[in-house]
Amino acid sequence: MPQRPSPRATGGGAHGVLITAPSLNAFTEGLGMTRRRGTCVLAEALAFAATGKVKADIELQALAAINDVFTRLEHGDVPSRVVLDFGGH
């Protein structure tokens, strides 16, 4: 089981937690990370995405660019998410 962050590290826990796995462990961990009066969601957030109300900023990179991607991550030069294309397309 992964180590949970200390509530002191976040000033009492997360304000919002998105649980995407329908399992008891995921809910237990998600609720454990949420601060008092925080929000914990699953189906509602996924429904927003399904109706197109959430846009993901995704950058596709070839697997050969992995070293450059790691360097950019270390320097904070990745604004959102990088997905590696294992097919080389």
Q: What is the pTM of this model?
A: 0.45
Give the tens place of pLDDT for each residue, 62-77: 999 999 999 999 999 9
DSSP assignment of 16-60 equals EEE--S-SHHHHHHHHHHEEEEEEEESHHHHHHHHTT-----EEE
Contacts for 82 with CB less than 8 Å, ≥ 6 apart: 58, 59, 60, 61, 69, 72, 73
What is the tens place of the pLDDT at every residue in 12-63?
Answer: 888 888 888 778 888 888 888 888 888 888 877 778 778 888 777 889 999 9
Give Rg (Cα) of the chain: 17
